[in-house]
Amino acid sequence: MTTVETVGGEWIRRDGDNVTLTITRCHACDARWFPPRDVCSHCASTDVHDEPTGDRGVVYASTVVRAGPAAYRPPYVLSYVDIDGVRVLAHGGTGEAFAPGTPVRLGIGEIGRTDAGPLMSYVITAEDGAR
Ligand SMILES: [Zn+2]
């Protein structure tokens, strides 16, 4: 496993072609959180541990952002994706929003660009590879 130096890179893990995220799971109530945290936001327990997600999820909701930070070069697609009990916000896709329920796979890609260069982070692509 290699930690990638990107936006949110401390939470991204890559093993070959497989990309996963680090989440926190609470031992007391089984709640799961992303980004990882030291205290459960549901029951306030500190009996938590970090673990990796799988590399696939399902789109909960998705939209095309047409007015956003210049670094992200709108329009771009943002989606809430359910992965192993957490709902994460992810960039990814081109043109159109994903339909709810679309199976997606995690990857790493360029989410924007500044004068300093590309902004890399985790991204999603449809499982069928269409987008
Ligand atoms: Zn808890």
CA of 17 from ligand 1 middle (Å) equals: 32
Burial per residue of 63-102, b for 16 or more beta-carbon CB atoms within 10 angstroms, e otherwise: eeeeeeeeebeeebbbbbbebbebebebbbbeeebbeeeb
pLDDT of residue 1: 52
At 126, which amino acid appears?
Answer: A
Q: Which residue has the higher pLDDT, 63 or 2?
A: 63
What are the residues whose beta carbon lies below 5 Å from ligand 1 (ion)? Answer: 26, 28-29, 31, 40, 42-43, 45
Q: Which residue has the higher pLDDT, 85 or 6?
A: 85
pLDDT of residue 53: 96
Q: What is the DSSP string of 95-130?
A: SSPPPTT-EEEEEEEEEEEETTEEEEEEEEEETTS-
Does pLDDT of 3 surpass 70?
no
Say how far apart CA 85 and CA 82 lie, in whole Å: 7
Q: What band does 88 get if pLDDT is binned at 50, 70 and 90?
A: very high
Of 66, 58, 77, which Cα lies nearest the Cα of 126?
58
> pLDDT digits over 59-70, tens only?
999 999 999 999
pLDDT of residue 49: 97
CA of 92 from ligand 1 middle (Å) equals: 31
- CA 63 remoteness from chain centre: 15
Across the range 42-67, mean pLDDT stands at 97
At 38, which amino acid appears?
Answer: D
CA of 11 from ligand 1 middle (Å) equals: 20
CA of 70 from ligand 1 middle (Å) equals: 38
pLDDT of residue 4: 45
Unique residue bearing structure tokens 């093993």: 15
pLDDT of residue 17: 87
Q: What percent of the chain has pLDDT over 90?
A: 76
DSSP alpha helix (H) spans, 18-63? none
Q: What percent of the chain has pLDDT over 70?
A: 94
CA of 50 from ligand 1 middle (Å) equals: 13
